[in-house]
A and B are shown apart, each in its own frame.
Chain A
Amino acid sequence: MSFPATASAVLAVGDAVPFRSPALDWHALAPEAVLVATAVVVLLVDLFTAERNKWLASTLSGLGLLGALVPVITLAVDGNTRSLFGGAYVVDDFALVMKALFLVAGYVTILLSTDYIGEGDYWEGEYYLLVVSSVLGMTLMASARDLITIFVALELLSIPAYLLAGWRKRELTGNEAGMKYYLMGVFASAVMLYGMSLVYGGTGTTVLAGIGRQVAGSFGATPVAALGIVFVLVGFGFKVSAVPFHNWAPDTYEGAPTPITAFLSVASKAAGFVAILQLIFVAFYGRDEVYGPMMWVLAALTMTVGNLIALRQTNVVRLFAYSSVAQAGFILAPLAVAGDSPAVADDAIRAVVSYLLIYTAMNLGAFAVILAVSRKTRSGELDSWGGLFEYAPGLTVLMTAFLFALAGIPPLGGWFAKFQVFKAVLGAGGASAYILAVVVAVNSVIALYYYANLARLMWFQSVPDGDRSPVRVPAAINLALALCVAFTVATGFFPGLVGHFGDAATDLVAVALRR
């Protein structure tokens, strides 16, 4: 076998050439640079401000995240695909769309956190520093086209998330959340690293495009390649909480501070999907008989198991934990058929990216309502939501919109997300695709039951404790709600908005097939 020899040859060459600093495209790195600067500023400001001025950290980090959007937009206007570090770091439309998603999701998380963290007995400066760092990891992930870069980005986004998940350190559930998330995350990293080592050992390169060429060639046919692909994807299966790797999610979601739960269920999950997309479409595309069936099984299991367990939940956060597990199943479904043909691959990437964008808005919106309501009820039990319509009609209408958007009922945004999934899956054709489509259809109905059940409690039940005093919603949460509902409703009526971003993101596939 020749590949160990190739690998050592690469190392040998690396040793011989003296290190020279690569040419840096600062424009391409500007979003990350802004985030790094923000993190540093937040840390310094926190050190030198009095207790009563700690709110500065929240404001500054929010501004920093929005500031990082500016270079993302200028890069998008510029339109050139920029490739740095020998193809290890690529700024294309796909990366920009996802970076924008992470930055906005991070900003909404900060909005949700402001009052929660300010009013609770928590450290503020560190909290925002960690959120910004995690978002930095995600924006890196969107551009990472190299195994090492992917791994670094993953750790950069995960390690702050482990800490944040355990932020309620005085409570047992908080400790459990952090610990469980950490152990599972590290375990997943280990599995993934093992897979990466197999892939690297076989191909002699860590750059995804290079791996893609080899996987399509003779190396792809070897069992080692299959093993490597499976292990790497399993690692990200943990990240996106795909069944059977989802066990950490409910406990972590329940124990973490609610804004962090929202962050994990949306941004962190999206980052996992970004990595999966890059790996599948750039590196592993030639082996669709390996990842295709794997994704098929993961998708079917994830949505079915997530939905069925969600039916039995009595705690609203756990309900949303399982609902987000199930939603991940819907997002995985197009990947099962992605290898069918370049046209289907395009459709699959459109579906995943559109789904992620819409899902982010609707899920963050739902968590914003949960936060607002729990400020009054101080309870996560579903029963405490009874009769919400009587004393908080505005929040009830918003929550109803988010719930039915998640269920995929037109004319709210979620229908287009589900629709794109159906379209990608059916576009592939063949018996297994049709069966998967029917599984998706049946699961949409199951999911409706628990979403509608929450709506039922809010609208049809009476208030359990008879307390009809209105819910006071802080300005920051109102802003978050407005952003989310505007996006959710607008995409329902004019799906072209999201469709356009999905279209732009297909340049990831184009790269893979250009070889």
Chain B
Amino acid sequence: MKDLLNDWGLTAATFLPVVGAVVMMVIPRAEETLHKLVALLTTLAVLAVGVALIASFDFDRTRTLQYVVDRSWIDVINSRYIVGVDGIALPLLALTVLIVPLVVIYSWNHFPEPHNPKAFLILILILETGMVGTFVAQDLILFFVFFEVVLLPMYFMIGVWGGEARQYAAIKFFLYTLFGSALMLVSFLAVYFLSPEVDVGGTMRHTFSMIELSDWAGAGLASTTALFVFGGMFMGFGVKVPIFPFHTWLPDAHTQAPTQGSVILAAVLLKLGTYGFVRIAIPILPEAAERWAPWIGLLAVIGIIYGALGCLAQTDMKRLIAFSSVAHMGYVMLGISTLTTFGINAAIFGMVAHGLITGMLFFVAGSVKDRYHTLEIKRLGGMLLQAPRLGWVLAFSCMASLGLPGLAGFWGEFPAILSAYNPAAGLNPAVYRTYMVVAAIGTILAAGYLLWLLQRVAFGTPREEFVGDDHDHGHGHDQAHALGQGDRTGSHALGHARIHDMHLTDYLAWAPMLLLIVALGVYPNLIFRVTDGAVVNSLTALGR
């Protein structure tokens, strides 16, 4: 069993979704329940593999790659199929395999127009392969391929199932990301050629192996060249994060994407970029990273403030959450830019926390859209009266997002700010302390916009237009009855029967996320003890 997991665990987690997608392709489109079942079972199987991987992960050796498989793939360029996870990848892998089945459960009765569960679920499964593959790949070309695999499904998800301006948002998302990744590929190739040849089966050849390249760590590379090469990677990862000023695709993509798309985008896709910095850019080119770091830090704090101010100016709930993502990813990037183990640990925690919390916020926003058919903040109000459970979930998520101690958001944000007090030895502490102050101001703004959002959406009395008016026509309403759910007694008493509360699928999909937000908030060591060793390892080249 252990051997099987060692040899096939990661490969299974990566490619099971594709198998599920292929099975679904041959099932006729009309068999919707069957499609949902196949998709759910596939993602649950991946989750099971993920749990097995975590269970038998050796937590005493988080700094070494585990479950490593190394096979020949493209021999011409000596690119190999190398997969493996260490303490940095494991939390993100776990996040991915958890989020996707939850999204499928949430989708059960919530397929956005034009419906078509077959195509929608196939796209989600392909996305899962791309995301899992990116986190486990240990070869630059393999990484690149998985990194790009996520583009197409997301493009179609936004473009077909999205909102009004979906076509614009979809192509914008695609072009931005592709532009970044084209330059990233150039950088990968530059690294390939500039690094010394290694011994492969008796002959000396260039390599794409991240392990070998991290050992090399840019030794002997002219510093100007290294700066440019790092710049290419910065573009590729930075657009994905997104770092200010490359963030403009994000509000559009988030706002226009269907709920499921937004959740996956926020929870996992944005992390591909930050993960790339931690896994690839910094370990391979530490000296260039050191020279880029102050500028990355600057862009990060600009992103924090800009994102927060952007939030305050939004009238659309989903767009507001999208801008809050820009701000939160700013904290993650600030943590990374300190180049200290403390900062990068905080960043990884921030990635997971942001994934859970912002994913949750997008789920709630989607449910609001389902019920009210609008996300205009000024038209909403009194949700606590009409749908109290949904309202409290929103309140909880907002609190978590603004960094309330005791919830996961705090441990992503606070250590990141703190780490800027004492950046790595080569960096100017004065600059970073300024960043720290600015980032701290950002948290106040965050509290401002999130509480303001909560106040306007959940508090007060419901608008006239949503009282007693059947805004929830169709399946959702009947579903609540069929499942014996829909706690509507409270709202009955108030005569607001038409906006119903959470469905069974909502409970199932959200409970794990809410629990994790609390669990990580109370006991952050769940993640820190996993990441710490690996982060120390990836910074060894910096001599610290």
Partners in one complex: yes
Nearest-neighbour CB distance to chain B for A488, whole angstroms, equals: 14
Establish whether residues B171 and A456, one from each chain, have CB atoms under 8 Å apart when the complex forms: yes
Nearest-neighbour CB distance to chain A for B46, whole angstroms, equals: 18
Please give, as numbers and ranges, the residues of chain A lying within 8 Å of B170 by CB-CB distance: 456, 460
A-B contact count (CB 8 A): 90
Interface string of A422-446 (1 = CB under 8 A from B): 1100110100001001100110110
Instruction: Tell me if A293 counts as interface (CB < 8 A to partner B).
Output: no
**Chain-A contact segment, one of B180-188, B472-480, B514-522:** B180-188
**Contacts A444-B182, A448-B174, A459-B159 known; A410 to B193 CB distance under 8 Å?**
no
Please give, as numbers and ranges, the residues of chain A lying within 8 Å of B144 by CB-CB distance: 410
A-B CB contact pairs (8 Å), 17 listed: A400-B152, A410-B148, A411-B145, A411-B149, A415-B145, A416-B74, A426-B186, A426-B189, A426-B192, A441-B179, A445-B179, A448-B174, A452-B171, A496-B73, A496-B75, A502-B76, A503-B76
Establish whether residues A410 and B189, one from each chain, have CB atoms under 8 Å apart when the complex forms: no
Which residue of chain B is the closest to A497 with respect to CB atoms?
A: B74
Establish whether residues A444 and B159, one from each chain, have CB atoms under 8 Å apart when the complex forms: no
Please give, as numbers and ranges, the residues of chain A lying within 8 Å of B73 by CB-CB distance: 494, 496
Please give, as numbers and ranges, the residues of chain A lying within 8 Å of B159 by CB-CB distance: 456, 459-460
How many angstroms between the C-alpha atoms of A409 and B156 in the bound complex? 14
Q: Which of A387-420 contact B (CB under 8 A)?
A: 400, 404, 409-411, 415-416, 419
Please give, as numbers and ranges, the residues of chain A lying within 8 Å of B146 by CB-CB distance: 410
Please give, as numbers and ranges, the residues of chain A lying within 8 Å of B175 by CB-CB distance: 445, 448-449, 452
**Contacts A442-B182, A445-B178, A496-B76 known; A459 to B160 CB distance under 8 Å?**
yes
Task: Identify B193's interface contact among A419, A427, A496, A499, CB under 8 A.
Answer: A427
Establish whether residues A423 and B167, one from each chain, have CB atoms under 8 Å apart when the complex forms: no
Instruction: Tell me if A350 counts as interface (CB < 8 A to partner B).
Output: yes
Q: Which of B354-387 contact A (CB under 8 A)?
A: none
Instruction: Tell me if A478 counts as interface (CB < 8 A to partner B).
Output: no
Nearest-neighbour CB distance to chain A for B154, whole angstroms, equals: 12
**Contacts A410-B149, A429-B193, A459-B156 known; A496 to B74 CB distance under 8 Å?**
yes
Instruction: Tell me if A247 counts as interface (CB < 8 A to partner B).
Output: no
Instruction: Tell me if B284 counts as interface (CB < 8 A to partner A).
Output: no
Instruction: Tell me if A313 counts as interface (CB < 8 A to partner B).
Output: no
Please give, as numbers and ranges, the residues of chain B lying within 8 Å of A460 by CB-CB distance: 159-160, 166-167, 170
Nearest-neighbour CB distance to chain B for A307, whole angstroms, equals: 13
Please give, as numbers and ranges, the residues of chain A lying within 8 Å of B193 by CB-CB distance: 426-427, 429
6 pairs of A and B residues whose beta carbons are closest in the complex: A499-B76, A441-B182, A410-B145, A410-B148, A426-B189, A445-B179
How many angstroms between the C-alpha atoms of A427 and B145 in the bound complex? 20
Nearest-neighbour CB distance to chain B for A489, whole angstroms, equals: 12
Nearest-neighbour CB distance to chain B for A159, whole angstroms, equals: 38
What band does the interface of chain A fall in when counting residues whose beta carbon is under 8 Å from B?
Answer: 35 or more
Instruction: Tell me if A495 counts as interface (CB < 8 A to partner B).
Output: yes
Instruction: Tell me if A149 counts as interface (CB < 8 A to partner B).
Output: no
Q: Which of B47-89 contact A (CB under 8 A)?
A: 73-77
Establish whether residues A350 and B76, one from each chain, have CB atoms under 8 Å apart when the complex forms: yes
How many angstroms between the C-alpha atoms of A444 and B186 in the bound complex? 12
How many angstroms between the C-alpha atoms of A442 and B186 in the bound complex? 11
What band does the interface of chain B fall in when counting residues whose beta carbon is under 8 Å from A?
Answer: 20 to 34
How many angstroms between the C-alpha atoms of A86 and B386 in the bound complex? 92
Q: Which of A442-473 contact B (CB under 8 A)?
A: 442, 444-445, 448-449, 452-453, 455-456, 459-460
Q: Which chain B residues have a beta carbon within 8 Å of chain A's beta carbons?
A: 73-77, 141, 144-146, 148-149, 151-152, 155-156, 159-160, 166-167, 170-171, 174-175, 178-179, 182-183, 185-186, 189-190, 192-193, 228
Please give, as numbers and ranges, the residues of chain A lying within 8 Å of B77 by CB-CB distance: 419, 423, 499
Which residue of chain B is the closest to A457 with respect to CB atoms?
A: B167
Which residue of chain B is the closest to A444 with respect to CB atoms?
A: B182
Please give, as numbers and ranges, the residues of chain A lying within 8 Å of B174 by CB-CB distance: 448, 452
Nearest-neighbour CB distance to chain A for B334, whole angstroms, equals: 29
Establish whether residues B186 and A409, one from each chain, have CB atoms under 8 Å apart when the complex forms: no
Q: Which of A404, A494, A495, A503 has the most CB of B within 10 A?
A: A495
How many angstroms between the C-alpha atoms of A147 and B190 in the bound complex? 38
Interface string of A466-498 (1 = CB under 8 A from B): 000000000000000000000000000011100
Establish whether residues A422 and B76, one from each chain, have CB atoms under 8 Å apart when the complex forms: no
Establish whether residues B185 and A456, one from each chain, have CB atoms under 8 Å apart when the complex forms: no
Nearest-neighbour CB distance to chain A for B112, whole angstroms, equals: 14
How many angstroms between the C-alpha atoms of A350 and B189 in the bound complex? 16
How many angstroms between the C-alpha atoms of A263 and B159 in the bound complex? 33
Which residue of chain B is the closest to A502 with respect to CB atoms?
A: B76
Please give, as numbers and ranges, the residues of chain B lying within 8 Å of A419 by CB-CB distance: 77, 141, 185
How many angstroms between the C-alpha atoms of A500 and B75 in the bound complex? 9
Interface string of A350-362 (1 = CB under 8 A from B): 1000000000000
Please give, as numbers and ranges, the residues of chain B lying within 8 Å of A448 by CB-CB distance: 174-175, 178
Which residue of chain B is the closest to A459 with respect to CB atoms?
A: B160
How many angstroms between the C-alpha atoms of A36 and B174 in the bound complex? 49
Which residue of chain A is the closest to B180 with respect to CB atoms?
A: A445
